[in-house]
Structure 1
Amino acid sequence: MYRLISATPSPYARKVRIQLAEKSIPFELITEVPWNRDTATPKYNPLEKLPVLICQNGDSVYESRFINEWVELKHPEPPLVRADPDEIILTKRFEVLSDGICDACVLVFWERARSEAAQSQEWTARQLRKAEGGLREISRLLADNEYCVSDRLTLADIAVGSCLGWLNVRMPEMPWRDNHPNLTALHDRLEERPSFKGSVPYAQVISDPVV
């Protein structure tokens, strides 16, 4: 059985959890704090970041997008990436945008955790612009479609849904629901799937990791 080391409510780890659930691949979920003194993260990832997927033979796979690609290659059924090259490219575009939004908002989250005197409003505003720009582009690409790519669930939907679910928890003040009704509809549809219901993120104390 695989083991997935995760920082909750990480949107990056949630992508892997949903993918494994959609493929009915059993795994053990292990919650870790990668900067605690007793962390085991460096043993499995020299970059000391989560998530990490540990294989049955002890090998480890790290960085969420690479884990997603690795799982698709090792467990191709049911496929969560279409075979058409243009659809593969579009899937990766959604993944890049979704991860980029999360990256920017993680920086905002930690900036706001600093003392008020130490915070940079310019820095925060720049990261929020990145996130808002990413949301606008995802909304544009999605348009009125039911799924991000073609007519069924792919890694693109998993990335976008994980991103939006995390924003609900960590950035509830962001008006993405009001600004992008098509993203709201996609999010709400995805959250009805068992794989999404089984991995709903929740807020934790400030000392817990988000990446």
Structure 2
Amino acid sequence: MRTLYHIPLSPFCRKVRLALAEKRIPFELRIERIWERRPEFEQMNPAGTVPVLLEENGLVIADSYAICEYLDEAYPDLPLLGRTLAERAEVRRLVAWFDGKFHDQVTRNLLYEKHTKRLLGRGNPDATAMRAGYQHMKQHMDYIGHLAENRAWLAGSQLSLADFAAAAHLSALDYIGDVKWELSEPAHDWYARMKSRPCFRGVLADRISGLAPPEHYSDPDF
């Protein structure tokens, strides 16, 4: 069985999990506490980061985008990166938006400060960073709402990796109760559609010891 080394609330790991599940590719999850710097893991990925996908034949693929590119090439029956050059360019642009701009402005300022920092023993949350995260969230929710109102899915007419990248970040933030869904009804409705997909069941079943999600977290009709 192929193995995905992950951290449960990492949006990058969640993106890969969603892609694997959407493509119906069997895999097992293994939590990797990267801060422990396990030598066996760092032999697989010298960068010491997750996610890392270990295939049954021993092939190791590290980095969430590299894994998703690999999955689309190795299992092309359900493409998530688009079919035409234009579609693929737009999917890539939006994946970069969510994994770059959204992560730097929102996810890092909220998830890292409220959860990851405590996990790593790096002190108390930075109130300034958290305020910046909440402020930036409005812009991003507006943008997601704009895309959802004007397209069938975020990148166009087909469900794509762009939807999974956005949903991965939002699901991690929603677990800690930090998504202001009232900011955008179209964004809320799009995410409700994402939560209703079978591939989301594993993510919605996540539970972190000592950190319970809000009641609506697992409810597709929230």
Give 1:55 shift: 1.8
Match of 1:152 among 146, 155, 158: 158
Unpaired runs of at least 5, structure 2: 212-222
Partner of 2:32 in structure 1? 32
Give 1:38 shift: 4.2
Partner of 1:68 in structure 2? 68
Match of 1:109 among 94, 106, 111: 111
Report the secondary structure of 1:106's partner residue.
Answer: helix
Structure 1 runs of 4+ with >6 Å offset: none
Q: Deviations over 1:70-94 (max 9, x none)?
A: 1111111111122222221221222
For residues 44-123 of structure 1, the aligned pairs below 5 Å read 44-100=44-100, 101-103=102-104, 104-112=106-114, 113=118, 115-116=123-124, 120-123=126-129
Give 1 or 2: higher helix fraction. Answer: 2
Quickly say closer, same or farther: Cα 1:110–1:24, change in 2 above 3 A. closer
Paired amino acid for 2:164: I
For residues 118-197 of structure 1, the aligned pairs below 5 Å read 120-170=126-176, 172-175=177-180, 177-197=181-201
* In 1: Cα distance, 2:188 partner to 2:205 partner: 17
* In 2: Cα distance, 1:191 partner to 1:39 partner: 36
Partner of 1:22 in structure 2? 22
* In 2: Cα distance, 1:196 partner to 1:115 partner: 32
* In 1: Cα distance, 2:107 partner to 2:86 partner: 29
Q: Deviations over 1:104-154 (max 9, x none)?
A: 4234333344545xx543333334444443333333233243311333321
Number of residue equivalences: 203
**TM-score (norm: length of structure 1):** 0.82
Quickly say closer, same or farther: Cα 1:128–1:65, change in 2 above 3 A. farther
- Greater CA deviation, 126-135 or 94-103? 126-135
Unpaired runs of at least 5, structure 1: none
* In 1: Cα distance, 2:71 partner to 2:207 partner: 28
With a CA cutoff of 8 Å and minimum separation of 6, indicate the structure with the bigger relative contact order: 1
* In 2: Cα distance, 1:181 partner to 1:39 partner: 46
* In 2: Cα distance, 1:156 partner to 1:24 partner: 18
